Amino acid sequence: MIYCPKCGTANRQGSKFCNECGTPLPATGLRCPMCGATNPTGNLYCDRCSARLIPAERVPPEEEKAERPSPPKGISLPSVPLGEEGWLSELRAEAEPLDLLPEEEEAPERPEGLEAPTAPPTPEAPSPEAAIPDWLAELEAPTAPPTPEAPPPEAAIPDWLAELEAPIAPVSPEAPPPEVAIPDWLAGLEEAVPEAPLPAEKPIPPLAGIPVPPSETPEWLRDVEFAPPIYEEPSAQTPSVAALDIHAGVPPAAPTTVPPILIEEEEELLVTTPGEIPDWLKEAPEEAPPEFGGLIPAEIPEWLRALQPREEVTVEEEPAETEGFLIGLRGLIPIGKGLDIPATAQPPLPRAPSPAAVARAELLQGLLSRPMITPPTAEIREAPRQSGWVLTRFLVGVILLAAILLPMLVRLPLFGPPTAPTAEALFTTVNQLPGNTPVLIAWEYGPAESDEMDRVAGPLIEHLLRREARLIVVSTRMEGPAAAEALLASRLVDPSERSQRIANLGYLPGQAAGVREAIGNLGGRTEAMTGLPASQLEIMADVHSIADVGMVVILAAQPDDLKTWLEQISVANPNVPVVAGVSARVELISTPYLTAGQLRGMVAGLTGGAVYERQLDTGWGREYEYYLTSLGMAQLAIAALTVIGALIFLVGGRKR
Among 495, 531, 574, 619, binds other proteins (CB under 8 A): 531
DSSP state of 295: -
CB of 651 to other proteins, least distance (A): 10
Nearer to other proteins, 277 or 426 (CB): 426
Rounded Cα distance between 330 and 355, Å, is: 53
At 445, which amino acid appears? Y
Among 66, 210, 541, 638, binds other proteins (CB under 8 A): 638
Degrees (nearest 5) of the Cα angle 191, 74, 62? 55
Interaction of residue 656 with other proteins, rule CB under 8 A: yes
Three-state SS at 309: coil
Nearer to other proteins, 326 or 571 (CB): 571
CB of 404 to other proteins, least distance (A): 9
Rounded Cα distance between 70 and 653, Å, is: 102
CB of 445 to other proteins, least distance (A): 11
Interaction of residue 36 with other proteins, rule CB under 8 A: no
Among 319, 513, 542, 626, binds other proteins (CB under 8 A): 513
Nearer to other proteins, 228 or 524 (CB): 524
Interaction of residue 536 with other proteins, rule CB under 8 A: no
Phi and psi angles of residue 579, each rounded to the nearest 5 degrees, phi first: -125, 165
Three-state SS at 268: helix
Phi and psi angles of residue 233, each rounded to the nearest 5 degrees, phi first: -75, 130
Nearer to other proteins, 116 or 576 (CB): 576
Rounded Cα distance between 421 and 612, Å, is: 10
Interaction of residue 548 with other proteins, rule CB under 8 A: no
Determine whether 37 is exposed, middle or buried from the number of CB atoms within 10 Å of its CB (0-12, 13-18, 19+).
middle
x/- map, 91-110, other proteins, by CB under 8 A: --------------------
Among 62, 424, 479, 623, binds other proteins (CB under 8 A): 479
Among 158, 206, 228, 514, binds other proteins (CB under 8 A): 514
Binding region for other proteins (CB under 8 A) out of 11-19, 22-30, 309-317, 635-643 = 635-643
Torsion over CA of 126, 131, 132 and 134, rounded to 10 degrees?
Answer: 180
CB of 589 to other proteins, least distance (A): 6
Among 416, 435, 597, 619, binds other proteins (CB under 8 A): 416
Provide CB contacts within 8 A for 47, sequence distance 6+: 37, 39, 40
Interaction of residue 425 with other proteins, rule CB under 8 A: no
Question: CB–CB of 36/144 below 8 Å?
Answer: no
> 73-84 burial by CB neighbour count: b if 16+ within 10 A, else e?
eebebbbbbbbb
Interaction of residue 643 with other proteins, rule CB under 8 A: yes
Interaction of residue 203 with other proteins, rule CB under 8 A: no
Rounded Cα distance between 12 and 18, Å, is: 9
CB of 516 to other proteins, least distance (A): 5
x/- map, 334-373, other proteins, by CB under 8 A: ----------------------------------------
Interaction of residue 511 with other proteins, rule CB under 8 A: yes
Determine whether 137 is exposed, middle or buried from the number of CB atoms within 10 Å of its CB (0-12, 13-18, 19+).
buried
Question: CB–CB of 146/97 below 8 Å?
Answer: no
Binding region for other proteins (CB under 8 A) out of 250-258, 364-372, 493-501, 586-594 = 586-594
DSSP state of 477: S
Interaction of residue 641 with other proteins, rule CB under 8 A: yes
CB of 580 to other proteins, least distance (A): 15
Residues between 379 and 398 with contacts to other proteins, criterion CB under 8 A: 392-393, 396-397
x/- map, 588-617, other proteins, by CB under 8 A: xx-xx------------x-x----------
Among 289, 446, 480, 601, binds other proteins (CB under 8 A): 446
At 449, which amino acid appears? E
Three-state SS at 171: coil
Among 419, 428, 431, 536, binds other proteins (CB under 8 A): 419
Among 417, 435, 597, 619, binds other proteins (CB under 8 A): 417
First vs last C-alpha separation in the chain: 81
Binding region for other proteins (CB under 8 A) out of 146-154, 413-421, 436-444, 497-505 = 413-421
Give the 3-state secondary structure of 527-596: CCCCCCEHHHCCCCCCCCCHHHCCEEEEEECCHHHHHHHHHHHHHHCCCCCEEEEECHHHHHHHHHHHHH
Interaction of residue 637 with other proteins, rule CB under 8 A: yes
Determine whether 125 is exposed, middle or buried from the number of CB atoms within 10 Å of its CB (0-12, 13-18, 19+).
buried
CB of 443 to other proteins, least distance (A): 14
x/- map, 232-271, other proteins, by CB under 8 A: ----------------------------------------
Site size for other proteins (CB under 8 A): 64
Interaction of residue 639 with other proteins, rule CB under 8 A: yes
Question: CB–CB of 34/19 below 8 Å?
Answer: no
Question: CB–CB of 230/125 below 8 Å?
Answer: no
Interaction of residue 375 with other proteins, rule CB under 8 A: no
Among 169, 391, 486, 547, binds other proteins (CB under 8 A): 486
Provide CB contacts within 8 A for 361, sequence distance 6+: 353
Binding region for other proteins (CB under 8 A) out of 253-261, 267-275, 422-430, 639-647 = 639-647
Interaction of residue 635 with other proteins, rule CB under 8 A: yes
Interaction of residue 408 with other proteins, rule CB under 8 A: no
At 643, which amino acid appears? V
CB of 461 to other proteins, least distance (A): 18
Sign of CA dihedral 146, 150, 154, 156: negative
Among 125, 224, 474, 482, binds other proteins (CB under 8 A): 482
CB of 609 to other proteins, least distance (A): 13
The helix or strand, by DSSP H or E, that contains position 302, with its residue range, turns out to be: helix 302-305
Interaction of residue 532 with other proteins, rule CB under 8 A: no
Rounded Cα distance between 615 and 426, Å, is: 11
CB of 358 to other proteins, least distance (A): 39
Sign of CA dihedral 608, 611, 617, 620: positive
User: Which DSSP string do the residues of 328-387 spell out, in sequence order?
Assistant: T-BSSSPPPHHHHS-TT--PPPPSS--HHHHHHHHHHHHHHHSPP---TTHHHHHHHHHH
Q: Which residues bind other proteins (CB under 8 A)?
A: 392-393, 396-397, 399-400, 414-419, 446-451, 478-479, 482-483, 485-486, 508-511, 513-514, 516-517, 520-521, 529-531, 571, 584, 588-589, 591-592, 605, 607, 628, 632, 634-639, 641-646, 649-650, 654-656
